Amino acid sequence: MGAFLWIVLVGFVAGIIARMLSPGPNNPQGFILTTVLGIAGAFLATWIGQAVGWYSPNQGAGFITATVGAVVVLFIWNRLVAARAIPDPGNRPPV
């Protein structure tokens, strides 16, 4: 349980930093989506790190690796939005 909470906490911070590192018009808007993408990046980094043998099964990704994972997830998000495969929730018409 501690490793899961560590991944979520590091993913949250990594998501915010990844958003600052990769500015662009297709950045996900909003606090919650940034957090979710950061956490997804931390899980991606943890999964790859455990598969390669960098981390033990009960260990989460480090801060730098989670940030790199969040940048990768954000890059994939930006490519999908640019290709119009998914809608950009931050670019909705006003109601």
Say if residue 43's pLDDT is above 80.
yes
Picking from 26-40, 48-62, 64-78, 80-94, which range would have the lowest pLDDT averaged per residue?
A: 80-94
Comparing C-alpha atoms, which of 83, 63, 85, 56 is closest to residue 6?
Answer: 63
Q: Is residue 92 domain-resident?
A: no
Q: Is residue 90 domain-resident?
A: no
- How many independent structural domains does the chain possess? 1
Q: Is residue 91 domain-resident?
A: no
Look up the domain containing 33 and give its range.
2-82
Question: In this predicted structure, what is the pLDDT of residue 67?
Answer: 82
Say if residue 28's pLDDT is above 60.
no
pTM for the whole thing? 0.68
User: Across all residues in the chain, what is the average pLDDT?
Assistant: 75
Phi/psi-derived region of residue 92, left when phi > 0, alpha when psi is between -120 and 50, beta in every other case: beta
Q: Is residue 93 domain-resident?
A: no
Q: Is residue 33 domain-resident?
A: yes
